[in-house]
Amino acid sequence: MDRREFLAAATAALVAPVAKVAAASERHLLYIAEPGIRNYVDYGGVGVLVYDIGAGYQFLKRIPTWDVPAGTEPDNVKGVAASARTGRIFVSTIKRLCAIDLITEQVVWDIAPEGGCDRLAISPDGATLYVPSFEGPHWNVISARDGSPMAKIITNSGAHNTVYSLDGTRAYMAGLKSPVLSVADTKTHTIVKSIGPFRNVIRPFTVNAAQTRVYVNVNELLGFEIGDLTTGKVLHHVEVEGFEKGEVKRHGCPSHGIGLTPDEKELWLCDGHNQAVHVFDHTVMPPKQVATLKVRDQPGWVTFSIDGRHAYPSTGEVFDVKTRKLIASLKDETGRDVGSEKLLEIVFDGKKPSRNGDQFGIGTKRT
């Protein structure tokens, strides 16, 4: 063994134990905001429920959010976002938005943005929140540090869903009253591009990591459409095969919920009437339908663990992505079946948050 080989072996021997200790100290936790299906407390009550992913999704605790006075109903939770960098999780309802410290689990600030709130998104650096008004004409741009307003973006589209790009340069904004996706420059907080129009108004949507494609649910479609984020054109219209559209409990939309696995090899699609999630092969274009998973309720959302191993439909079940087998059915501390469309993973290194996932099934494959 020459000197270089000796030094390489010695360095590996020193680093290996450190790597094992670091990995052993990590905890992967699933955070679920409730009530995350309308304002129905039957699906898990009120608050943020926390589950230990590494311990087979064992229920750990409930973090309080807003008090609900006796004789009143809670507000619908509309979205959840987190920043491991700043150590906070953010929860929006139709009226309010709060920031919670992930270590102390105390509310840092609580505001009532103009026009209420819908499904928000946070910048990768954890500094800025794009918060749609509650199906209103505008998005509020809000400081994640203290909840102060930074800007207002008016689209008159029925503000609803928001995705922040992985590089932090763009925010993608869809409204309940428009077939067009608006794209904002997050430096100037102005609309710089429109994608579409799609065949109907846009419901849930997701984007790939390269910011070249957007995948949208639209009203009346059991399936999805694909838009080109570069040219603004609609490229594909994909319908689910072998299943019929039918009555749905919520959202009034046959497919409400769509997500890319982090490696972007698969696309998962919700089917409310048939109580199913359809899996598409995303390595071909247009994506090809390859499997169907039955779930315990009508799904209205789907997202994934950071490593892409687990899928989280809003029905409170956990599926192994590779085998497509059910591995957990979540319950709260009272034994109730849990369900929510607002959930994400946060990884802790010891007591400090180190990484976080997203409520949307966004592609994270780097090119």
Do you find a cis peptide bond into 286, omega within 30 degrees of 0?
Answer: yes
pLDDT value at 4 more than 90: no
* Domain CATH number, residue 313: 2.130.10.10
Read off the pLDDT of each residue in 215-227 and give the average, rounded to a whole number.
98
Would you say residue 87 lies in a domain?
Answer: yes
Would you say residue 237 lies in a domain?
Answer: yes
- The pLDDT, as a whole number, for residue 56 is 98
**pLDDT tens figures, 152-203:** 999 999 999 999 999 999 999 999 999 999 999 999 999 999 999 999 999 9
Q: How many CA atoms lie within 13 A of 150 on its CB side?
A: 18
**pLDDT tens figures, 291-309:** 999 999 999 999 999 999 9
Q: Strand 302-304: give its sheet, edge to edge.
A: 302-304, 310-313, 317-320, 326-329
Give the chain's mean pLDDT.
Answer: 94
Would you say residue 18 lies in a domain?
Answer: no
pTM recorded for the entire structure:
0.93
Would you say residue 271 lies in a domain?
Answer: yes
Would you say residue 217 lies in a domain?
Answer: yes
Single-letter code of the amino acid located at 223: G
DSSP codes of every residue in 115-172: T---S-EE-TTS-EEEEE-SSSSEEEEEETTT--EEEEEE--S-EEEEEE-TTSSEEE
Would you say residue 5 lies in a domain?
Answer: no
Query: Partners of 361 in the beta sheet?
Result: 259
Is 34 in a helix, a strand, or coil? Answer: strand
Dist. CA 117–CA 97, nearest whole Å: 7
Range(s) of the domain holding residue 145 = 29-356
Q: How many domains does the chain have?
A: 1
- The encoded tokens of residue 34 equal 């409730």
For 85, which DSSP code? T
Would you say residue 3 lies in a domain?
Answer: no
pLDDT value at 361 more than 60: yes
Would you say residue 265 lies in a domain?
Answer: yes
